[in-house]
Structure 1
Amino acid sequence: MSFYPSLGYLVFGSRLRRLSEYFLAEVNKVYEQAGIPFDASWFPVFYLLSGQQPMPIIDIAEQLEISHSAVSQMVTNLRKKGLLKTTPCKEDGRRQLVAFTKKGTDMLQQIQPVWKAISTAMEELVTENKQSQQLLAAIAQVEQAVQQQPLSARVIKSIQQND
């Protein structure tokens, strides 16, 4: 038996991270082989903006459930690459609105077929195994459970019960 499966839930997060890193690396290979200078880590911002732009940085952060600082750093990085532009919000000059540049819009057109192919490939992957078909629902249930009671609180409660 492999090291990770033998440890069960003790390495649950490590296994999810390894799987996530694997998927991101594989998707980056697809972009590279297609000649598209896109990084899979940019996907959430690109996807959000593909549906609505301009969008305030704070709204991007809220929808992605990550810090304003993390979004700001990514937007700055994508702005330096010429893919995004920012403008001050007319109603509140402290807020920055994010939108695609022409180069960003062109890249979006290139990557959207890749996104469709990724969805198709992932659907094929999970249909190969009956239990895999429940994966997204199971992840959603775990996410909801830790929102209701964080893992740290559960661990501390378990420690206290064993004292």
Structure 2
Amino acid sequence: MSFYQSLGYLVFGSRLRRLSEYFLMEVNKVYEQAGIPFDASWFPVFYLLSKHQSMPMIDIAEQLEISHSAVSQMVTNLKKKGLLKTTPCKEDGRRQLVAFSKKGAEMLQQIQPVWEAISAAMETLVSENKQTQHLLAAIAQIEQAVQQQPLSARIGAALPE
């Protein structure tokens, strides 16, 4: 048993972060091997735009449940790479609509087969072990539970007075 496994829930977050970092690293390796200059951290924005063509920046932040500032930084970075463009919203000039540039739309065509392969590989990986077949449902339950009562409150309640 590894060090992390031996500590159980005490390092639950650390194990999830390590696994997440591993998955992102491996997916980035696939993009690199395919000659696609794409970073897995861009996936949420690319995926949303692939479904909506263009979206107000604030809507992207709400959908991804991250700050407007974080979205703004990512969009600025992707604009510098020539993958996205922004235009003022017709209804409200203070809002920015985000869309793919021509280069970004071309990259989307390249990466969509990778997304399909990722889904297929993950389904195979999860189906290989009966206990992992309900992994996404279990994660969703934990996410919902900590929205109802934050982990910090649960830890505080477990501390001796």
TM-score normalized by structure 1? 0.98
> Alpha-carbon deviation of 1:53?
2.3
CA deviations 1:6-54 (Å, max 9, x no partner) are 1110100000000000000000000000000000000000000000021
Corresponding residue for residue 34 of structure 2: 34
Corresponding residue for residue 18 of structure 1: 18
1:121 alignment partner AA: A
Alpha-carbon distance between aligned partners in 1 of 2:11 and 2:56, rounded to the nearest angstrom: 37
Corresponding residue for residue 73 of structure 1: 73
Corresponding residue for residue 6 of structure 2: 6
Alpha-carbon distance between aligned partners in 2 of 1:28 and 1:140, rounded to the nearest angstrom: 25
Structural mapping, 1:1-163, within 5 Å: 1-159=1-159, 162-163=160-161
Aligned residues: 161
Worse-superposed segment, 43-52 or 150-159: 150-159
1:95 alignment partner AA: R
2:90 alignment partner AA: K
* RMSD of Structure 2 on Structure 1 (CA): 0.5
Instruction: Find the residue that maps to 2:41 and give its secondary structure.
Output: helix
Instruction: Find the residue that maps to 1:43 and give its secondary structure.
Output: helix
User: Sequence identity, in percent?
Assistant: 85
Gaps of 5+ in 2: none
Gaps of 5+ in 1: none
